[in-house]
Amino acid sequence: LSAQDQLQQKIICPGPVTCLTASPNGLYILAGVAESIYLWEVSNGNLLAILNRHYQDLTCLCFTDDSSHFLSGAKDCLALVWNLYSVLQAEPSQIPDPRHVWSRHSLPITDLCCGFGGPLARAATASLDQTAKLWEISSGELLLSVLFDVGIMAVTLDLSEYHMFCGGMDGSIFQVDLCTWPVQRDRTFQTERENGKVFKGHRNQVTCLSVSTDGSLLLSGSHDETVRLWDIQSKQCLKTMNHKGPVTNAFIVLAPANMFNPDGKPSVPLPKFSKHLHGTESSDEPGAEGVTLRLGLHQQEPGQSYLEKAERMYSQMYLTREKNLVGDQEHLTIQVSELEEEVSNLRKINKDLFNFSARIITNPAK
């Protein structure tokens, strides 16, 4: 944070946080603390669940794009798939069961990545056991396992899911084609044979990977204290950004409309995140409120209900998206009118040329 940046909220967690993610709809936050998963509700700071199904420390968490499911990976070699609705419905006394338990890795899970399609999406897992695996979330079935000659620290898919990119312990980044024929469930990636599918440049382990939305650029971060931007087609490094320590995370994101507005400030303040499970708060925490559901508009009371808070958050989120879209729409309209004008000019020139040529041909020089 620079001097002019203001810290909006400092949230004290029950222990060191090893991984953290927010749901794409902006309503929930997940954190891995030791071998437990903590689930908070953003709008009111309630701690909704503590999930203890891993046997060792968490290493990674990610949501599906529709926020209906989330995946957790840990040092116990397990990747678990959770249905968010089932977790929220469970009684505080019982630990909900994960939808799937993926136990095909033999060493700690290092990274997770979810594709497109909500509960019908495919997910990729990376592990120190030198494999990256591709799974189907709906059935829990293993679709593909690729064996490398180094431990895999990071994995990601491009938006069209044609390729899976895997970052290795030695700094190599491997490109696995998912649409090759014949289809094999178990593959071995032999670097010397697949020379055109390796990005070479990092001198230490790759920690994170991210693909641009058009599938042309790859961003990678490494313990060699650099972030690199690659052209996927040619495997050339386009840009290297140096840092003063190991890079732990980096990703490409669509810039929100108000990102470059100097006066842009968060309009919804973050509440304090609760340390105790919702409904079991100790009495020494004043102001611990329950969820208010107000269904009848005639029962107007002071204070916002949960539904109104959620509505407000959604409107804030979509406002920036609409601004982007409206800007694009205006730009397109201007482009279309310019092109129409150019077409009419060209038609006129074409007509004049035709008349001129016709005159020369029909009136030969005397």
pLDDT single digits (tens) 77-135: 999 999 999 999 988 778 889 999 999 999 999 999 999 999 999 999 999 999 999 99
pLDDT reading at 298 higher than 60: no
For 48-65, the pLDDT digits (tens) are: 999 999 999 999 999 999
Helix (H, G, I), strand (E, B) or coil at 282: coil
**In the sheet that 186-188 helps form, which strands lie side by side, from edge to edge?**
109-114, 122-127, 131-136, 142-147, 186-188
* Number of Cβ atoms within 10 Å of the Cβ of 82: 24
Average pLDDT of span 165-173:
96
- The pLDDT score that the predictor gives to residue 262 is 75
**For residue 50, which of 30, 69, 64 has the smallest C-alpha distance?**
30
| Mean model confidence pLDDT for the chain | 86
Average pLDDT of span 183-202:
84
Handedness of CA 223, 224, 229, 231 (dihedral sign): negative
The more confidently predicted of residues 11 and 201 is 201
Residue with tokens 């004290």: 12
CA angle (66 as vertex; 115, 29 as ends), nearest 5: 100
Average pLDDT of span 36-41:
95
pLDDT reading at 313 higher than 90: no
What share of the chain in percent tops pLDDT 70? 84
- The pLDDT score that the predictor gives to residue 176 is 94
Distances (CA, A) of 94 to 52, 80, 188, 331: 11, 17, 42, 54
pLDDT reading at 41 higher than 90: yes
Global pTM? Answer: 0.75
- Please give, one letter per residue, the 3-state secondary structure of 293-356: CCCCCCCCCCCCCHHHHHHHHHHHHHHHHHHHHHHHHHHHHHHHHHHHHHHHHHHHHHHHHHHH
